[in-house]
Every structure is written in structure tokens, then in C-alpha cells.
């Protein structure tokens, strides 16, 4: 764009009644347009004015939009929102509960939500069960409380 480009733009700017301080933005616009060979001078002025106008309405959004339109190489991305995703696994020495045969990363047959609502417990024999399953099992034992896997006396591991 020739040196008269800026002057022309300022003239158009004054004609549409925008405040003079906004002209500083136009310096940037002119620089961008200088590097954009496909845009004609007249077109450039139109885009420049349109851009300042949009700037006043919605500064953040339009800045991204305009930069993307005028120069494809200088795209500025702003993260406006993000969602964290986390996953978890029980670390047990087996994959399934020896009582209900359901996976440890699922829950016992009485529960719907795995995790804190249906925790795992370990015995001192190192066998592991859904807490609900082992409690049900222990309550059903009349005489001595034994691990259903190894028949050792059941004691909860601290």
C-alpha cells in the first residue's frame, strides 16, 4: 500500500465521525494490509474503518475475527473456556471382586456409581473386595469371620 493509504483512511475515519485516538489502531491495520497483496487500496480503507467500528462494539471477539480475516499467518487465539477431564482406576491386585465377580473399576451389584460410593477394602490377607460385598459376606458368617478367598481370619487392613 502506498504512503497515501494512511491519510486516506484517516480521512474516511473522520468522515464517519470516529474519535481520533482510534487512529492508532489503524497504524496496525495499515501494517497488516501492507502485507496483504490481494487487498486493493480502496478495499483496505473500507476494512480499516469497519474494523475500528467493530472494535468499539466488541473489542475481544472482533480482534480475533479481524486478524484471522486479514492475515492468515498471524492468528491470535484466546482461550475463553475449558473443561478438565480426569479419569481414575482402582489399583488392586485383581480385576474382579471375588465375591460378586464384578470388576473393581465398576461397583458391586447393589450400587450404581463406582468410586467413593462403592469403595474397595483390603484384608490383612491382602485380598480385596468391594466394601459392600465383604460386609454382606461377613454378616452372613455365623461362627468366625473369614476371607472368602483364602479362609484366613478376616481383618481389615489399616
As given in the structure block, the three cell numbers for residue 149 are 478367598
d(CA 71, CA 87): 40
Of positions 6, 29, 32, 132, contacts Zn ion by CB under 5 A: 132
The answer to whether residue 134 forms part of the interface with Zn ion (CB under 5 A) is: no
Eight-class DSSP state of 154: P
Interface residue with Zn ion among 18, 29, 32, 108 (CB under 5 A) is: 108
118 lies in the site for Zn ion, by CB under 5 A: yes
- 150 near Zn ion (CB under 5 A): yes
**Which string of x and - marks every residue 76-105 that binds Zn ion (by CB under 5 A)?**
---------------------x-xx-----
Q: Read off φ and ψ for residue 45, nearest 5 degrees.
A: -65, -40
Distance of alpha carbon 51 from the chain centroid: 30
**How far from chain centre, in Å, is Cα 59?**
24
Closest by CA to 100, choosing from 55, 137, 69, 73, is: 137
Q: Which of these ranges, 20-28, 35-43, 77-85, 120-128, lies near Zn ion under the rule CB under 5 A?
A: 120-128
Among 10, 23, 39, 125, the residue binding Zn ion under the rule CB under 5 A is: 125
Closest C-alpha among 151, 148, 117, 116 to residue 135? 148
Total number of residues binding Zn ion (CB under 5 A)?
15
Chain positions contacting Zn ion, by CB under 5 A: 97, 99-100, 107-108, 111, 118, 125, 127, 130, 132-133, 147, 149-150
Amino acid at each position: 500500500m502506498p504512503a497515501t493509504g494512511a491519510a486516506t483512511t484517516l480521512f474516511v475515519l473522520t468522515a464517519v465521525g470516529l474519535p481520533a485516538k482510534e487512529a492508532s489502531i489503524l497504524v496496525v491495520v495499515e501494517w497488516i494490509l501492507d502485507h496483504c497483496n490481494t487487498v486493493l487500496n480502496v478495499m483496505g480503507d473500507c476494512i480499516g474503518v469497519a474494523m475500528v467500528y467493530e472494535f468499539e462494539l466488541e473489542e475481544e471477539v472482533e480482534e480475533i475475527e479481524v486478524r484471522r480475516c486479514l492475515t492468515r499467518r498471524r492468528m491470535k487465539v484466546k482461550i475463553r473456556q475449558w473443561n478438565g477431564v480426569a479419569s481414575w482406576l482402582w489399583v488392586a491386585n485383581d480385576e474382579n471382586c471375588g465375591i460378586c465377580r464384578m470388576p473393581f473399576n465398576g461397583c458391586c451389584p447393589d450400587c450404581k456409581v463406582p468410586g467413593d460410593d462403592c469403595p474397595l477394602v483390603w484384608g490383612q490377607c491382602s485380598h480385596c473386595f468391594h466394601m459392600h460385598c465383604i460386609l454382606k459376606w461377613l454378616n452372613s458368617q455365623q461362627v468366625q469371620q473369614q476371607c472368602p478367598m483364602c479362609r484366613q481370619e478376616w481383618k481389615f487392613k489399616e
